[in-house]
Chains A and B, each alone.
Chain A
Amino acid sequence: MPTWVQVVYLICAVGFILALKGLSGPKTARRGNLIGAAAAVVGCALPFIYVDHLEHVPLILGAIAVGTAGGVFGARKVQMTQMPQMVALFNGVGGGAAALVALLELNHMLDVQAALDALGGPQVDAYGWFVYAATAFTIFVGSVSFAGSLITFAKLQELMTSRPVVFPGLPVAFGGLLLGGIVLSVLTVTSASIGIGIGLCLVGLLFGVLLVLPVGGADVPIVISLLNAFTGLTVAAGGYVLSNTLLLVGGTLVGASGTFLTLLMARAMGRSVANILFGALKGGSTLGAGVASDRPVRSAGPEDVAILLGYADRVIIVPGYGLAVAQAQHTLRELVDVLGERGTKVDYAIHPVAGRMPGHMNVLLAEAQVPYEQLVEMDHINGEFKNTDVVLVVGANDVVNPAAKTTPGAPIYGMPILNADEAKQVVFMKRSMRPGFAGIENELLFDPKTTLLFGDAKESLGKLLNAVKAL
């Protein structure tokens, strides 16, 4: 490899570092993303320039064109509410690609070794044992990431149940597959063959499925982040196998930052990563029965709620995924604007995991052009609830469930919540009495100061908006 190519790889690697750096600040985020894209494009263009006799160029370019079309189409078409599963899907195909690349490289390594052996003479190893180990790692973890991501996609897209799937013998199957993966990895080092590589791939796929099946819906985003880090590490290992510094640095950056991000998210939910992955396996998952309760609640019509809101001095809105599903964020913003004109101070309280992923709600509200300064993060607004006249909870449930503070056995126990229960009045806009994503009942719904407004969020908000305008 010529020196200038290595220098350009280094520049691209720096580009990735700057991209991550930029992505962690609101003002620099978009530029950071563009820098990352530019670095990736330059990096991928290099082989066409410096590799002598790169074969199958037309086919390679054709495959890139197909992939580009698919990627752009998917990225453009996806609804903002479906963003998390789209990220999961992109992550999965990346892991799958890494596993396939490692399989091909294993094939190539075996060819080289066979050619070397055919020369006769003393036994010489063309590749060290660690190269085989890294190849096995990439095949196995890449397959885990691929299969696991597809299951998270299916869960979030509601192609299958979002509840934890556990069956008797799951821990045994889990342990058996893990053991099988380790044995096949050791075999790859001691006596590699392409059959063992393919076996490792299959075991990895099954293991990935079993890894994600027992994870409950609310925890799936954290698993996406974890699998994202996994894919990063496989790309890094692939970089070592192929002796390519850009793959090594890029993959390691994603592996490290992805792991760190996973821990940050888990902390925001008050959960440990081990508990999320293996809680259901140990039988520790105590997700509620998920049945609608028939305990008495107080419900009201839009006109009553309009009066509550219209004459309040201080209102806090707690938006949740239900708002986004109903595509009601634009109507909500109109309502907030009207209330603001009437002299009511209104803010949005954003729970770190509102929506389906940390920061997801900010994206959804930004789409509806809600001013950035009205979005207040949990830590900043939690002290203000006790001075608040009305809290309007739109399509959220678990993030205001006091069980997180009061019921040690609840699955969400320990998760920081928005202190909506401290406000003078609470209004829930709900479609039904069905529990939230975590599947547990919310005591706040039965509190005497709580009023429920049943119906589709968009319709109800529309009626509410007209009623407030008529005041």
Chain B
Amino acid sequence: MNEGVVWLTIFVLSVFVGIEVISKVSSTLHTPLMSGANAIHGIILLGAILVTGSTHSTVALVVGLVAIVLATVNMVGGFVVTDRMLQMFVRKKPASEKEGAR
């Protein structure tokens, strides 16, 4: 199979999975969900590490390090801030359990 088609297959299937997994979200959770999804694309850090780790020029190294700092802020900050938001929902255990039983 053509390698490009393999990538296209992964892409198309991921689109459907991405829509499907969040299709039942209540509007209460829109903000944390957006924030969590925002943190996930911080995985660009992985790409930043890969390109920076193979550069040989000084300029490219500096640009790569800037990219790493930015990507880390996105990823770490995103997950921490989402967790902070969600802590507030979780604190009232009995209420959320009642919600689940309904």
Which A residues contact B (CB, under 8 angstroms)?
16-17, 19-21, 23-27, 29-30, 32-34, 36-37, 40, 43-44, 46-48, 51, 54-57, 59-60, 63-64, 66-68, 70-72, 74-76, 78, 80, 83-84, 86-87, 90-91, 93-94, 96-98, 100-101, 103-105, 107-108, 128, 130, 224-225, 228, 231-232, 234-236, 238-240, 242, 244-258, 260-261, 264-265, 268, 350, 352, 357-360, 362-363, 366-367, 369, 371-373, 375, 377
Q: Is the CB of A258 within 8 A of B37?
A: yes
Measured between C-beta atoms, what is the minimum distance from B8 to chain A in Å? 9
- What A residues does B74 contact at CB under 8 A? 71, 90-91, 93-94, 97
B69-102 interface mask toward A, CB cutoff 8 Å, 1 = contact, 0 = none?
1111111111111111111111110011111100
Given contacts A51-B53, A67-B76, A130-B4, A26 and B26 within 8 Å (CB-CB):
yes
Tell me, in angstroms, the Cα distance from A91 to B14 when the chains sit together. 21
Query: Which of the residues B7, B56, B71, B98 comes within 8 Å of A94, measured between beta carbons?
Result: B71
Give residues 35-75 of B contacting A (CB, 8 Å). Answer: 35-56, 60-61, 63-75
Given contacts A60-B53, A90-B81, A363-B31, A24 and B22 within 8 Å (CB-CB):
yes
Query: Which of the residues B29, B73, B82, B84 comes within 8 Å of A359, measured between beta carbons?
Result: B29
The residue of chain B having its C-beta at the shortest distance from the C-beta of A224 within the complex is B34
Q: Is the CB of A247 within 8 A of B65?
A: no
Q: Is the CB of B15 within 8 A of A24?
A: no
Q: A60-B68, A75-B80 are in contact. List 17 more A-B contacts (CB 8 A).
A: A17-B21, A20-B18, A23-B32, A33-B39, A36-B39, A37-B39, A55-B53, A67-B71, A70-B69, A93-B71, A94-B42, A231-B38, A252-B11, A254-B40, A254-B41, A256-B19, A350-B28
Q: Is the CB of A44 within 8 A of B45?
A: yes
Given contacts A72-B80, A373-B98, A83 and B34 within 8 Å (CB-CB):
no
B1 on the interface (CB 8 Å rule)?
Answer: no
Q: Is the CB of A257 within 8 A of B19?
A: yes
Q: Is the CB of B7 within 8 A of A260?
A: no
Given contacts A33-B83, A68-B72, A101-B51, A21 and B21 within 8 Å (CB-CB):
yes
The residue of chain A having its C-beta at the shortest distance from the C-beta of B78 within the complex is A90
Query: Which of the residues A30, A71, A367 comes within 8 Å of B90, measured between beta carbons?
Result: A30
- What A residues does B65 contact at CB under 8 A? 56, 59-60, 63
Q: Is the CB of A101 within 8 A of B21?
A: no
- What A residues does B51 contact at CB under 8 A? 101, 104-105, 108, 242
Given contacts A63-B69, A93-B74, A247-B43, A254 and B37 within 8 Å (CB-CB):
yes
Tell me, in angstroms, the Cα distance from A468 to B38 when the chains sit together. 44
Q: Is the CB of A359 within 8 A of B46?
A: no
The 25 sampled A-B contact pairs (Cβ below 8 Å) are A20-B40, A24-B22, A33-B82, A33-B86, A36-B39, A40-B75, A43-B43, A44-B75, A47-B46, A63-B69, A64-B72, A71-B78, A87-B34, A90-B73, A93-B73, A242-B47, A248-B11, A251-B43, A252-B14, A254-B41, A257-B37, A261-B30, A261-B34, A371-B92, A377-B27
- What A residues does B43 contact at CB under 8 A? 16, 40, 43-44, 235, 246-247, 250-251
Tell me, in angstroms, the Cα distance from A94 to B37 when the chains sit together. 12
Measured between C-beta atoms, what is the minimum distance from A262 to chain B in Å? 9
Q: Is the CB of A260 within 8 A of B75?
A: no
Tell me, in angstroms, the Cα distance from A249 to B15 when the chains sit together. 9
Q: Is the CB of A100 within 8 A of B64?
A: yes
- What A residues does B86 contact at CB under 8 A? 29-30, 33
Q: Is the CB of A97 within 8 A of B36?
A: no
Given contacts A67-B72, A257-B22, A372-B99, A19 and B47 within 8 Å (CB-CB):
no
Q: Is the CB of A47 within 8 A of B40?
A: no
Tell me, in angstroms, the Cα distance from A70 to B81 when the chains sit together. 12
Q: Is the CB of B71 within 8 A of A247?
A: no
- What A residues does B49 contact at CB under 8 A? 44, 47-48, 54, 60
Tell me, in angstroms, the Cα distance from A1 to B95 when the chains sit together. 48
Q: Is the CB of B41 within 8 A of A93?
A: no
Tell me, in angstroms, the Cα distance from A252 to B21 when the chains sit together. 13
Measured between C-beta atoms, what is the minimum distance from A192 to chain B in Å? 16
- What B residues does A80 contact at CB under 8 A? 85
Given contacts A56-B52, A75-B77, A372-B92, A97 and B85 within 8 Å (CB-CB):
no
Tell me, in angstroms, the Cα distance from A107 to B62 when the chains sit together. 14
Tell me, in angstroms, the Cα distance from A371 to B32 when the chains sit together. 19
- What A residues does B90 contact at CB under 8 A? 29-30
Tell me, in angstroms, the Cα distance from A108 to B82 when the chains sit together. 35
Measured between C-beta atoms, what is the minimum distance from B76 to chain A in Å? 4
The residue of chain B having its C-beta at the shortest distance from the C-beta of A356 within the complex is B31
